[in-house]
C-alpha cells in the first residue's frame, strides 16, 4: 500500500472564521514559482486581473480575458498546496446576467481547481453573488475603488472621503454580505469608513488602501517586493527586487561580453575513456 501525504487547503469557512480574529494574509499571485514561495505564509492567494497590468503591460484591467485568468490560475494551483486560491472574474465575464456569470465562474473552477471567484460591485451585483453562492460557487466581493469601472469613473479614484459618499458604500457592503459573499475586498477607501464597514458587517473585510481595522490585508505581490518603481501610497515595500534584478542582469551581461561566463564550472567536459 502506498502512503500519500495529503495537503489540506484552507477552506472558505476557515476564511470566514477570521472575522474579528487573526487577520487574513493575502497577496496576489500569477505564477507557479511564486505560489510555492507564498504558500506557507499566506492564507489566501488572489489571482487578480491586475495581472493584465503587472504581467502583460496593459494600461488597465479592461483588456484581461477569461482565458488569461484561467491560464494564470492553473499555474498558481500547480505551485500551491495550502492557501485558498481565489480568481478574479475579468471585465465582461459576469456583468451581463447571473446565468452568464455562473457559466463563466463554473468554467474557472472546473478548469483551474481554484476554490472561489471574486467579482467587483456592490448592490448592483448582489443578485449575481446570491445566484452563484446558491449554486455552489464561493464568491468574494469587491467594493470601493473598483478598477474595472475606470472608464466610468474617469480614473482610479479613492472613495468615501466625503460623508456624502458613505451611504451608498455602506449599502454596497451590506448588500454583498447579505447576498452570501464569504469576504469582501475594500479598496481605495477612506480609513474611517473601511473601519465602520468592518464593524458593521458579518463577513471578513480585506483591505487594500483601506484600514488596519480590516479583517485582513491584500497587496499586489510585485508592488510589495519593489518591482513597481511607482507604487500606490497604500503599498509598503518589503524588498527592492527591481534594482537587485537590474544589477544581476547588468553583471551577467558584462560577464557574457567579456567571456567570463560560462566558466569551467558551468560547462561539461568529455567523458574519460573506459
Positions marked catalytic = 187
Which 8-state DSSP code applies to residue 194? H
CA separation for the pair 148, 8 (Å, rounded) = 33
Which 8-state DSSP code applies to residue 265? G
- 3-state secondary structure at position 142: strand
Burial per residue of 259-269, b for 16 or more beta-carbon CB atoms within 10 angstroms, e otherwise: eeeeeeeeeee
CA separation for the pair 137, 89 (Å, rounded) = 12
Which 8-state DSSP code applies to residue 19? T
The answer to whether residues 215 and 26 touch, using CB atoms and an 8 Å cutoff, is no
- 3-state secondary structure at position 207: strand
Counting every residue written for the chain, the total comes to: 274
Compute CA 68 distance to the chain's CA centroid, rounded to the nearest angstrom: 14
The answer to whether residues 75 and 105 touch, using CB atoms and an 8 Å cutoff, is no
CA separation for the pair 197, 35 (Å, rounded) = 31
CA torsion angle 98 102 104 108 (round to 10): 140
For the chain, the distance separating the N- and C-terminal CA atoms, rounded to the nearest angstrom, is: 42
Amino acid at each position: 500500500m502506498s502512503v500519500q501525504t495529503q495537503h489540506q487547503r484552507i477552506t472558505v469557512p476557515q476564511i470566514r472564521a477570521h472575522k474579528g480574529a487573526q487577520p487574513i494574509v493575502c497577496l496576489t499571485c500569477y505564477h507557479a514559482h511564486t505560489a510555492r514561495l507564498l504558500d506557507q505564509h499566506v492564507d489566501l492567494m488572489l489571482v487578480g486581473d491586475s495581472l493584465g497590468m503587472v504581467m502583460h503591460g496593459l494600461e488597465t484591467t479592461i483588456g484581461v480575458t477569461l482565458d488569461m485568468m484561467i491560464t494564470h490560475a492553473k499555474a498558481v494551483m500547480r505551485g500551491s498546496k495550502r492557501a485558498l486560491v481565489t480568481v478574479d472574474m475579468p471585465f465582461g465575464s459576469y456583468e451581463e446576467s447571473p446565468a452568464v456569470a455562473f457559466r463563466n465562474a463554473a468554467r474557472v473552477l472546473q478548469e483551474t481547481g481554484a476554490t472561489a471567484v471574486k467579482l467587483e460591485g456592490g448592490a448592483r451585483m448582489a443578485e449575481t453573488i446570491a445566484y452563484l453562492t446558491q449554486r455552489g460557487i464561493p464568491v468574494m466581493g469587491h467594493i470601493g475603488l473598483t478598477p474595472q469601472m475606470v472608464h466610468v469613473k474617469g480614473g482610479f479614484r479613492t472613495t468615501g472621503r466625503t460623508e456624502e459618499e458613505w451611504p451608498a458604500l455602506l449599502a454596497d457592503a451590506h448588500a454583498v454580505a447579505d447576498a452570501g459573499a464569504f469576504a469582501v475586498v475594500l479598496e481605495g477607501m477612506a480609513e474611517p469608513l473601511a473601519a465602520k464597514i468592518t464593524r458593521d458587517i458579518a463577513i471578513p473585510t480585506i483591505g487594500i488602501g483601506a484600514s488596519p481595522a480590516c479583517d485582513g490585508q491584500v497587496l499586489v505581490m510585485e508592488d510589495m517586493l519593489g518591482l513597481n518603481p511607482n507604487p500606490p501610497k497604500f503599498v509598503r515595500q518589503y524588498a527592492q527586487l527591481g534594482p537587485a534584478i537590474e544589477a544581476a542582469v547588468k553583471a551577467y551581461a558584462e560577464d557574457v561580453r567579456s567571456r567570463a561566463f560560462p566558466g569551467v564550472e558551468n560547462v561539461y567536459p568529455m567523458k574519460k575513456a573506459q
